[in-house]
Structure 1
Amino acid sequence: MNNTIIKPLIKPLIFVLISMSSALSVYASDLDALLEKVITDGYEESDTHKQREKAFLSNQKNQANLVEQTIQAIDDAKLLQIKLNNQLKLNESLITELETEIEEKAGDLSNVFSIVHQISEDQKVSLQQSVISSEFSNRMGTLSKIEDKNELPKIEDLKQLWLIIQHQMTQSAHVNTSSLLVTDIEGVESKETVIRFGGFNSVIKNEFLSYYAPNTKLLTLSKQPESKFINEINQWFSPEKSLVKNVVIDPTLGGVLQQYLLQPTIKDRIKQAGLVGYAIIFIGIIGLLVAAWRLVYLFGVNKKVQAQMNHLDDIRLDNPLGQLLSVAKDNNLENTALLESKLEESILSHVPQLDKGTNFIKLLAAVAPLLGLLGTVTGMIDTFQTIVDLGTSDPQSMADGISQALLTTVFGLLAAVPLLFCHSFVTSKVRALTVILSQQSAGLLAMHIKKTDTENNHD
């Protein structure tokens, strides 16, 4: 039973064993090669390690030498530090001694430094603001060099400072003519012949100049003074030699001239008054023209009447008195009442012609202040509207309305006052002529009555 089971298994087992023996033989050959390789590599690694160990030992000796050198360098540095510290203390002590010696030797000269700096600074500010610097701008550089020095000034520095101060004093008394750059109101620079009157004014032909201190430039004024001042400065550009020449100077070095030019002209005032102001001026001009027309007419009539009064026998019909005499002559009636009526009719016919335009002048004199009041009201309305829109923080914004309110009132009064005087004068002339005609009429009636009584007595 057992043999029957074992026999079938023997052959496979034998086959497996044979296979395993063949495999083991292959593996055994590989292991021999591996062992041989391990041995070979071990010998190579041993040589490498020996070389590394040898190099390490060599480097270790070098490192020891470097450590010793470093320690020696540190010791040398410490010695040098001690030596330098001692030298520093000696130098500080020497500096202190030298400073003390300088102070002792300087004595009162120790204040010269600060005094010269202060004078240079003050003089630089003064020259910067002077119109003379437009002609001599290089003086600023010299003062800057003296001011920037951090040591006692030398004799040359003091001489230069003295010369600059003396030069400024001398030029303040001179009238110089030179060719300089002038900037016009549009910013264009050009070479112009400039006359400088001391430290006060600089002018070119037909124009006064202003001095701009920050860059020492001469600028033309945006608005020039009156023509009489311009004519005075133009005398200095005339080729004619004259011993006496007038000139306008500004002792405040430009301040008064600037303020003078800021004053508004009549044209500016009229513009500020607005439309109401133009209306008042128009009314005033019309009233004055009418008054002038009537006065010329009345003076002519009065002259003819006076001439007629001096020659009553020579009757001329070109004047009211002559026409009155003509009426008396042509109506030599016995009825006195009828003659009186004729004379009164002649006088009344001349009164409207003499009184023509008088009421119109009076009307304009009354309307002018009313328009001024109207301008005052409208100006205040504009002012209040500006306050509502912008508030009261900016007074300049309210200036237009206030200017209109005040100026229209002034214009209304200025128009009304002369018109009232003209009306009164015209009225007085009309009244004087009317009185002359009435007196002459009464005289003619008296003469007619006397003549009539004489004739009746003769009869």
Structure 2
Amino acid sequence: MKIIKSAAVILILVLLCIPAFGQDMRARSVEAQRQKAMLEQRALEEKQAAQKEAREALAKIVSDRQAAKAAVADLNQKNSETKENIADLQKRISELEAQKAALKQELSNMDAQTRTLVGHVRSNARDALALVKQSQQSALIPGRADALKELAGQSRFPSIEQIDAMAEILLDEIARSGEVRIEKASIVDRLGREAVADVLTLGEFTAAYSMGDETGFLLYSDTSQRFFALSKLPSSKYRKALRAYMNGESPVALMDLTKGAALRQLTQEKGLAERLPQGGPIIWVILALGGFAMLLVLERVVFLLRIRVNASKLMAQIQPLAQNGDWKECLDLLKAQKSKPLARVLAWGIKHRHLERMDMENALQEAILGEIPALERFLSIIAMMAAVAPLLGLLGTVTGMINTFHVITYYGAGDPKMMSGGISEALLTTMLGLAAAIPIMLAHTLLSRRIEGSIAQMEEKAVSLANTIYAVREKE
């Protein structure tokens, strides 16, 4: 627009400076002005159009900008809302994942607990089945282990009824194991026949039966779950005690705390009368030796009891008489007990009271030495028997072992029972020899101590008498 104005001004100046131009120039000037006006008008219109377009563009831009801002704000809000929704959804997903994991873990734990519970139930059922089979009460209640067999063997989850049945069986077992019962029951007697008898059960430890005049112990077999009578009846003492208890006549019951082991041993037990012939001829020699030694010991005991005297009391009676010089009274007092070695020694000393001290002490020692053989009579024989008895037992054992090895040579060593039986019989003589030697040695020791005490007592009282006699001499 400035260029157009400048061109118009120049044109006017040219027209003014050249007035000589003619009418054409005026026409041209008029035309130029008209064109200028037209150009200015056009320029003005174009300017207005351009300004209008600019305003419209600006308005549109402003409108678009505001719309864009609104759209951006809206999008930002939606974006924020979307982010919040995403965060909420992610949080919800995390919560659901955690719940899923927790539920999965809970399901796994419940499954494991269920399997553990089933395993415990089956294990307890197997334990209960083993317990019931080993319980002697099962012989009185046939078929009570059937429910436990089914429960222990099935693969599905046990029912409450089955668990209740197992609990009832266990409670019944507990109750019965602490009770004493007498009831009719079927047993297998000593001849292998089935019979009905009065069966006494003392908890889980011992069972006995009474059938007519026969009374004995029962053994329980967990394989067949039945009672079997011992093949050998107990001694009459045991049978009498069992019968009295079963009849209510005695409060004392015989009980095997080993649950049958001692009763089985009872059937294998042999008395001394049954064992003696198995030891061979040397057994009788040992018995004769032991019997003879016991007779000698008994004779020595009787002898020592017969010559026993209260030495202190005797000296208390003699010393006042000796101090008074009443020797006759002393001798009479000692003669009244002449069966006692001490009295004879003291009497011998009083008879030799007139000798010198050395001679009188020698006389007393001679009297004591004279009494010793009677006191020590048979002691050496008893000691010899105590030494010989175990040697005889050893001789019998060696002889029995030789016989056992001869049997092994002929028949082989394939049967341990045969070997153990032969060795047991061979050792019987050693046992009996030691059984004879030990009391003999003890008796010999006690007798020797007693005799040594008697000799020491005689020596002491002899010295006391010599001192009393010489005290009286010095006074005279």
TM-score tier after normalising by the smaller chain length: 0.5 to 0.7
Equivalent in the alignment of 2:292: 286
SS at match of 1:302: coil
Cα pair 1:232 1:248 within 8 Å, conserved? no
d(CA) in 2 for partners of 1:119, 1:439: 82
Equivalent in the alignment of 2:303: 297
Equivalent in the alignment of 2:400: 379
Q: How many positions carry a matched residue from both structures?
A: 346
Shift of 1:322: 1.9
Cα pair 1:304 1:319 within 8 Å, conserved? no
Change over 3 Å in CA distance of 1:123–1:271 after alignment to 2 = farther
| Cα deviation 1:402-426 (Å, max 9, x = unaligned) | 2244343343334333322322221
Equivalent in the alignment of 1:325: 346
Cα pair 2:188 2:227 within 8 Å, conserved? yes
Change over 3 Å in CA distance of 1:182–1:451 after alignment to 2 = same
Change over 3 Å in CA distance of 1:166–1:238 after alignment to 2 = same
Equivalent in the alignment of 2:220: 211
* Long gaps (5+) in structure 2: 1-118, 319-329
Shift of 1:291: 2.1
Change over 3 Å in CA distance of 1:141–1:326 after alignment to 2 = same
1:433 paired with 2:454, answer yes
Equivalent in the alignment of 1:309: 315
Map 1:49-448; keep pairs closer than 5 Å.
Answer: 127-139=132-144, 167-187=172-192, 191-204=196-209, 207-222=216-231, 236-237=245-246, 239=248, 248=255, 250=257, 253-255=259-261, 257-258=263-264, 262=268, 270=276, 273-305=279-311, 307-312=313-318, 313=330, 314-315=333-334, 316=336, 317-333=338-354, 343-448=364-469
SS at match of 2:220: strand
d(CA) in 2 for partners of 1:169, 1:435: 70
SS at match of 1:248: coil
d(CA) in 2 for partners of 1:169, 1:374: 56
| Cα deviation 1:52-74 (Å, max 9, x = unaligned) | xxxxxxxxxxxxxxxxxxxxxxx
Counterpart residue identity of residue 211, structure 1: Y
Shift of 1:248: 2.9
Shift of 1:196: 1.5
Change over 3 Å in CA distance of 1:310–1:187 after alignment to 2 = farther
Change over 3 Å in CA distance of 1:301–1:189 after alignment to 2 = farther
| Cα deviation 1:18-47 (Å, max 9, x = unaligned) | xxxxxxxxxxxxxxxxxxxxxxxxxxxxxx
Shift of 1:378: 0.5
SS at match of 2:387: helix
d(CA) in 2 for partners of 1:358, 1:117: 75
SS at match of 1:368: helix
d(CA) in 2 for partners of 1:332, 1:309: 16
d(CA) in 2 for partners of 1:179, 1:269: 38
Q: Percent identity?
A: 28
| Cα deviation 1:171-215 (Å, max 9, x = unaligned) | 334332202344443446654322223343222466331123455
Alignment TM-score, normalising by the size of structure 2: 0.56
Cα pair 1:210 1:218 within 8 Å, conserved? yes
Equivalent in the alignment of 1:41: none
Cα pair 2:182 2:198 within 8 Å, conserved? yes
Change over 3 Å in CA distance of 1:188–1:339 after alignment to 2 = farther
Shift of 1:274: 3.9
Identify which range, 443-452 or 396-405, moves more after superposition.
443-452
Cα pair 2:309 2:340 within 8 Å, conserved? no
Counterpart residue identity of residue 221, structure 1: L
d(CA) in 1 for partners of 2:405, 2:122: 57
d(CA) in 2 for partners of 1:223, 1:414: 28
Change over 3 Å in CA distance of 1:308–1:448 after alignment to 2 = closer
d(CA) in 1 for partners of 2:382, 2:153: 77
Counterpart residue identity of residue 370, structure 2: S
Shift of 1:360: 1.4
Equivalent in the alignment of 1:65: none
Equivalent in the alignment of 1:86: none
Change over 3 Å in CA distance of 1:183–1:289 after alignment to 2 = farther
Q: Greater Rg, structure 1 or structure 2?
A: 2
Change over 3 Å in CA distance of 1:389–1:306 after alignment to 2 = farther
Counterpart residue identity of residue 284, structure 1: G
Change over 3 Å in CA distance of 1:444–1:201 after alignment to 2 = closer
Change over 3 Å in CA distance of 1:142–1:341 after alignment to 2 = closer
Shift of 1:294: 1.3
